Every structure is written in C-alpha cells, then in structure tokens.
A = this chain, B = another copy of it.
C-alpha cells in the first residue's frame, strides 16, 4: 500500500470534459485498460512530454498532432507502451487515432494517443478497433475515478485530486489523475497525468500554467532517476464555466494547478515500487536553483541513503558523503548544516557535537521523513520528493518479466 495514502478522494466532474473507460484486453484481463477523455469544442490544451531521446511512438504522434490541430480527444491505454517499436509503432499509434476520429467525426490530428506499459511489443490495434465504438458511446462527465483506475499499470493505488477555486467571477473546478510508481517503470513505461479545468484560458496562458506546475511537481520527484520513454502530462481547459481568471485570480489559479500537480506527483512517489517511506529532500542556501537541485538529486538517488532510509537507520555519514560528492565548486563544508527532521546531525564539517543517535532514530522511525540541507552560500531553495530503496524494489524489478 502506498505510504500515507488514504484512498481516492471524490473526483469532481469538470464541465466540458467527458470520460469513458473500457476493458479492451490489451494486456490485462478483467479490468479496464483503455480510457478516453473528450474535450468540448473550443477547449485549449497544453502538454509536456518525456525528454528521453528514445521517446515512444505515441509521444511522437501526440507532439505532431498538438502542433497541427486543437485536441478533442485523449486516447490512453495501459499494458503496452508502444515504445521501441520503430516505424510500425508510429503507424499503429496513427491508426488508433484514425479509428477514434472516424467514430467521433473529427480529424485524426484532433486525437492525442498515450500509451503506458511494456516496452517493445506492438500495439494490438484490432483490440482498439473493437473497443472504440463502445468507449465513445460511454462518454460521461462523471468517470474520472474509472479513468484513474484504467490507466494504472503496476500502480497499487489509483491517483486523483480535485479542487475548486472561488474567484471573483465565480467558481472553477480542476480535477487531475495520474499513474506511475516512480519516474521509472521497468517494462511498464512510466508516468502519465491528465488535468482538466472548466476555466477558460488561452493556449499560451495554459502552457505557461502547465510549465510552472510541472516544474514544481513532476519535475521534482524521483524514485531512481530512470526517466521513461512515455512520460506525458496534459492540462486541458474546457472554458465551460465561462470564467477566465485574470489579475490576482490568475495567480491563484496557477498556484492551485501547481498544488494539485504536486499532490499528484507526491502520490506517485508514495506508491513507488517497494517504497516504505516518503522522503522530502529540502536544500536551502544554494547560489541558484540548479545547484540546490544537484545536491537534492545526488542525495535522493544515492542507493546508500535510500537503503539507510529503508532500514530506518540515521546513517548521517551517507548523507554527508552524498552532499560532498554532488560536485559543487568550492563548497565550504564548514558551513553545511544537515538535519533529519528537526534534529541537526551535521555542522562545522562533521557530526554535530550535541547529536544523539536516539534523536536520529526517532525521526527515522516515521514513514514521512525530511532531510534538510543548508549549503550556506546563497539564497536559493529547492525541494525534491523521493522514497527509500527496499527489498521489494529489487524483487519487483528483478522478477517482473521472469
């Protein structure tokens, strides 16, 4: 069970957005594995994709379609990533878009395809073909929870968040769902997130809003640094509320989308493969954001820090060694302060004189832990979320295909 997960909350319908799911039998049996999200005409849509050079066929097709038409449909399958599938993979992704477009009466470029699952197997296009009529007929505003479940692969829990925001001009709703159990997914190509609102936003405003939200959420989590071939995050605005946030309201709206994305991103870490602890790495006092992140990710990726977290062992020497190898030019170790929760473990170039092992153990006994690092050379501040490295991680990833 995911760390600190208390169940899928009520996911509020978003006016102008309809969803449907189907059991297409792409890989799984007895569960939905295909989801369709419909955006009302006039919706705007922004998306960010994986930077992996070996990006999957659907990522390539979705990028291409986004540049040519306003998206009306997001077609998402789990169980097969359609990655590493060469030219045929591209043809298959395009064919799925055409099938849906024919059913819906729109152009194929108004359809964005998303796939998550095993790498290197061809999509069973005929199963898409069989499922699409029923899928399209089932579109409904109240199917967010079903969609959250349909896009799961090895996720142990469905992930979704809803918020409403009272603006001067009325109330807008934002609902989002995500899948992924880390930045990584063995054969199961990773993270997808779909967020929609009934607010009305121009495309450039929406793109900016998504870029900020992703920067502070999905771009701040790591399980083990293995960025997948299929990562994608989409933000759609139907405009059905008739409300366009402006001035201070625009800032509040952007902040809300940021909060919601951060919560979704944290849900992915909470459900990370084998995770038993949810860990915040908080780095302050850097010269700029980049060096704070460099230290935060070095600590968050360190197998030694991660196994100590798994063991609940306040092994501060490993954190100190990770900070020391993060590659910061001219780091003055005398000025570095490291804390586990509220306990100061390192200062003045070594273990804090008043540090007691019992205090460190008390912090490490929790399942939500903050590692605080103060670099003492500037005013930048960044935060990254990660998890521990457990036996179950090795088991899940060593035994998944075998």
Residue positions of A touching B, CB distance < 8 A:
51-55, 83-87, 89, 118-120, 184, 186-187, 189, 224-229, 301-304, 307-308, 310-313, 315-318, 320-326, 328, 331, 333, 336, 346, 348-351, 389-391, 393-395, 397-399, 401-402
**A350 in contact with B86 given A53-B331, A311-B398, A324-B55 (CB within 8 Å):** yes
Q: Do B119 and A304 touch across chains, with their CB atoms under 8 A apart?
A: no
Q: How far is the CA of A87 from the CA of B55 in the complex (A)?
A: 51
Q: How far is the CA of A142 from the CA of B320 in the complex (A)?
A: 39
Q: Do A53 and B325 touch across chains, with their CB atoms under 8 A apart?
A: yes
Other-chain contact of A308, B315, B393, B398 (Cβ < 8 Å): B398
Q: Do A325 and B227 touch across chains, with their CB atoms under 8 A apart?
A: yes
Q: Which of A53, A313, A350, A402 has the most CB of B within 10 A?
A: A53
Q: Do A317 and B187 touch across chains, with their CB atoms under 8 A apart?
A: yes
Q: Do A184 and B304 touch across chains, with their CB atoms under 8 A apart?
A: yes
Other-chain contact of A391, B187, B316, B350, B394 (Cβ < 8 Å): B394
19 contacts between A and B (CB under 8 A): A52-B321, A53-B324, A53-B328, A84-B320, A85-B350, A85-B351, A86-B348, A86-B350, A119-B318, A225-B302, A225-B303, A229-B317, A303-B389, A303-B397, A307-B397, A310-B398, A311-B401, A390-B398, A391-B395
Q: Which of A89, A301, A397 has the most CB of B within 10 A?
A: A397
Q: Do A351 and B120 touch across chains, with their CB atoms under 8 A apart?
A: yes
Other-chain contact of A317, B84, B315, B321, B389 (Cβ < 8 Å): B84
Q: Do B350 and A393 touch across chains, with their CB atoms under 8 A apart?
A: no
Q: Do A313 and B398 touch across chains, with their CB atoms under 8 A apart?
A: yes
Q: Do B321 and A226 touch across chains, with their CB atoms under 8 A apart?
A: yes
Return the chain B residue nearest A227 by Cβ.
B325
B-chain residues with CB within 8 Å of residue A53 when the two chains form the complex: 323-326, 328, 331, 333
Q: Do B310 and A394 touch across chains, with their CB atoms under 8 A apart?
A: yes
Other-chain contact of A311, B331, B393, B399 (Cβ < 8 Å): B399
Q: Do A311 and B402 touch across chains, with their CB atoms under 8 A apart?
A: yes
**A186 in contact with B350 given A54-B324, A119-B320, A394-B391 (CB within 8 Å):** no
Q: Do A325 and B399 touch across chains, with their CB atoms under 8 A apart?
A: no
B-chain residues with CB within 8 Å of residue A310 when the two chains form the complex: 394, 398
Q: Do B394 and A390 touch across chains, with their CB atoms under 8 A apart?
A: yes
**A54 in contact with B391 given A226-B302, A310-B398, A398-B308 (CB within 8 Å):** no
Q: Do B187 and A402 touch across chains, with their CB atoms under 8 A apart?
A: no
Return the chain B residue nearest A329 by Cβ.
B53
- Give me the 4 closest cross-chain CB pairs, A-B, nearest first: A119-B317, A54-B324, A86-B350, A307-B397
B-chain residues with CB within 8 Å of residue A224 when the two chains form the complex: 302-304
Q: How far is the CA of A349 from the CA of B189 in the complex (A)?
A: 17
